[in-house]
């Protein structure tokens, strides 16, 4: 199969880029011909090393740029001759839609950021991939036909991005609690800071490591400094690979207020952390609905504090939840993601009206 992916860039900044790059590399490994058209970025070298072709396509949202990009993309389609086109963000879907209509090609869209109002435009796809069951339900409520929607749960285990990563745990104080995520309100870090402040008096040896950067970093640093446990909180900043921190962590916490299907849960489970996540969006599904990790309500730092207290006070309970994070890890592999995505492609390619259009234009 010849597959052409569209995304805005290939920089390390966003989870949807990581997911698309992982998928493209795995599809190539599984024997497909794969190309990514984007604005380019950090992962272009990795893509080349994995024999994934790249083409430049500007995604800037200006009228003249969009027109030029439409013409450029039409040229890429004629040159690459894909069997299917896969768009990963709203601008990509808008650029791809008219070209797919003209060429008779199926358009697959993936809803990575369902919380954005513009996500409804992903309904332009012949098939619309939701990255969790929660996202599927939300998109259907917003008017996307159930016939179009397919769920392919995110997973990262075995991804090409991690081929040469370090498996040496970071040197962390014990017991250690780790957060990995963007420092913006959606990730709920203030709730974790408040919870840590609550339990730190009873567990003065505990340390919290905050990994990530973002627009709220200075505010969150100030909030941590004002708390009673501020000296026990380390802001590591944004780093290329937080996996050594997860390998060393006793507890991984993701206190998100909204999160369609965070890739970091897959990594934390692979690293054998005891995991606490909020009961929002795709997090429960990634944690086997509470079997592979503890679920707490979003925006409830008191409940989060009590859950942390239970784990820190009982070493046997902590070890049990580390072991439980390992159940059914095969559901979180990139191999499974690529295989299920190929099934979505085939269902779209078999759609009768597309076959008719292709024969008329071919």
Pull the structure tokens for residue 166: 């370090």
Pull the structure tokens for residue 268: 């934390």
What number is the average pLDDT over the span 96-100?
95
- Asked whether the beta carbons of 278 and 255 are under 8 A apart, the reply is yes
Phi, psi of 159 (to 5 degrees): -70, 150
What number is the average pLDDT over the span 302-308?
98
Q: How are beta strands 251-254 and 294-296 bridged, if at all?
A: unpaired
- Asked whether the beta carbons of 246 and 269 are under 8 A apart, the reply is no
The tokens 């592979």 sit on which residue?
292
What number is the average pLDDT over the span 155-164?
95
3-class secondary structure, 283: helix
pLDDT at 319: 98
Q: What is the pLDDT of residues 24-81, one digit of tens each?
A: 999 999 999 999 999 999 999 999 999 999 999 998 888 888 889 999 999 999 999 9
- Asked whether the beta carbons of 275 and 269 are under 8 A apart, the reply is yes
Using a 10 angstrom Cβ sphere, with 0-12 exposed, 13-18 middle and 19 or more buried, the burial of residue 64 is exposed
- Asked whether the beta carbons of 288 and 328 are under 8 A apart, the reply is yes
- Asked whether the beta carbons of 321 and 307 are under 8 A apart, the reply is no
pLDDT at 355 over 80: no
Pull the structure tokens for residue 156: 């990262």
Spatial distance between the Cα atoms of 130 and 139, rounded to a whole number of angstroms = 8
Give the global pTM: 0.93
Do the domains 163-332 and 2-155+333-361 match in fold?
A: yes
Pull the structure tokens for residue 282: 């795709």
Spatial distance between the Cα atoms of 208 and 81, rounded to a whole number of angstroms = 50
Lowest mean per-residue pLDDT among 25-34, 130-139, 318-327, 351-360: 351-360
pLDDT at 192 over 90: yes
Spatial distance between the Cα atoms of 62 and 116, rounded to a whole number of angstroms = 20
pLDDT at 358 over 50: no
- For helices 15-29 and 263-270, the axis angle rounded to 10 degrees is 70
Spatial distance between the Cα atoms of 156 and 311, rounded to a whole number of angstroms = 26
pLDDT at 115: 83
Handedness of CA 327, 114, 17, 295 (dihedral sign): negative
Give me the residues paired with residue 253 across strands. Answer: 276
pLDDT at 351: 75
Spatial distance between the Cα atoms of 251 and 175, rounded to a whole number of angstroms = 8
pLDDT at 352: 62
- Among residues of the chain, what percentage have pLDDT more than 70? 97
DSSP state of 157: B
> In the structure, what pLDDT confidence band is assigned to residue 346 with cuts at 50, 70 and 90?
very high
pLDDT at 310 over 80: yes
Averaged pLDDT score across all residues of the chain: 94
221-228 long-range CB contacts below 8 Å, 24 or more apart?
A: 223/190, 223/193, 224/193, 227/193, 227/194, 227/196, 227/197, 228/197, 228/200, 228/201
Spatial distance between the Cα atoms of 327 and 5, rounded to a whole number of angstroms = 32
Q: CATH assignment of 163-332?
A: 3.40.50.2000
CATH of 2-155+333-361, one of 3.40.50.720, 1.10.10.60, 3.40.50.410, 3.40.50.2000: 3.40.50.2000
DSSP state of 327: T
- Residue spans of beta strands (DSSP E) within the chain: 2-6, 33-38, 53-56, 84-87, 107-111, 127-130, 149-151, 176-180, 207-211, 233-237, 251-254, 274-278, 294-296
Buried b (16+ CB within 10 A) or exposed e, 194-227: bbbbbbbeebeebbbbbbbbbebbeebeebbeeb
Domain ranges of the chain: 2-155+333-361, 163-332
């Amino acid at each position: 199969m010849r597959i052409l992916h569209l995304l805005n860039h290939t920089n390390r900044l966003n989870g949807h880029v990581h997911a698309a790059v992982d998928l493209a590399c795995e599809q190539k490994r599984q024997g497909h011909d794969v190309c990514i058209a984007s604005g380019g970025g950090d992962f272009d070298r990795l893509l080349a090393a994995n024999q994934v072709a790249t083409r430049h396509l500007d995604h800037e949202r200006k009228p003249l740029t969009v027109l030029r990009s439409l013409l450029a993309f039409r040229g890429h389609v004629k040159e690459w001759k894909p069997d299917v086109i896969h768009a990963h963000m709203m601008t990509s879907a808008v650029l791809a839609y008219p070209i797919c209509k003209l060429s008779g090609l199926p358009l697959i869209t993936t809803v990575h950021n369902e919380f954005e109002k513009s996500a409804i435009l992903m309904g332009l796809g012949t098939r619309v991939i939701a990255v969790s069951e929660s996202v599927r339900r939300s998109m259907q409520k917003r008017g996307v036909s159930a016939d179009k929607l397919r769920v392919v749960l995110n997973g990262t285990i075995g991804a090409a991005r991690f081929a040469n990563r370090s498996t040496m745990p970071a040197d962390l104080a014990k017991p250690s609690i780790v957060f990995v995520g963007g420092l913006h309100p959606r990730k709920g870090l203030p709730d974790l800071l408040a919870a840590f402040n609550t339990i730190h008096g009873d567990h003065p040896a505990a340390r919290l490591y905050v990994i990530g950067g973002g627009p709220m970093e200075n505010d969150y640093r100030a909030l941590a400094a004002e708390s009673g446990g501020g000296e026990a909180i380390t802001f590591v900043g944004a780093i290329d690979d937080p996996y050594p921190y997860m390998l060393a962590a006793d507890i991984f916490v993701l206190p998100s207020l909204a999160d369609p299907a965070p890739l970091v849960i897959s990594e934390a489970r692979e690293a054998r952390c005891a995991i606490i996540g909020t009961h929002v969006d795709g997090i429960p599904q990634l944690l086997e609905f509470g079997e592979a990790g503890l679920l707490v309500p979003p925006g409830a730092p008191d409940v989060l504090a009590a859950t942390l207290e239970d784990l820190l006070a009982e070493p046997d309970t902590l070890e049990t939840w580390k072991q439980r994070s390992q159940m059914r890890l095969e559901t979180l592999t990139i191999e499974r993601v690529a295989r299920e995505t190929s099934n979505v492609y085939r269902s779209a390619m078999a759609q009768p009206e597309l076959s008719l259009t292709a024969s008329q234009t071919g």
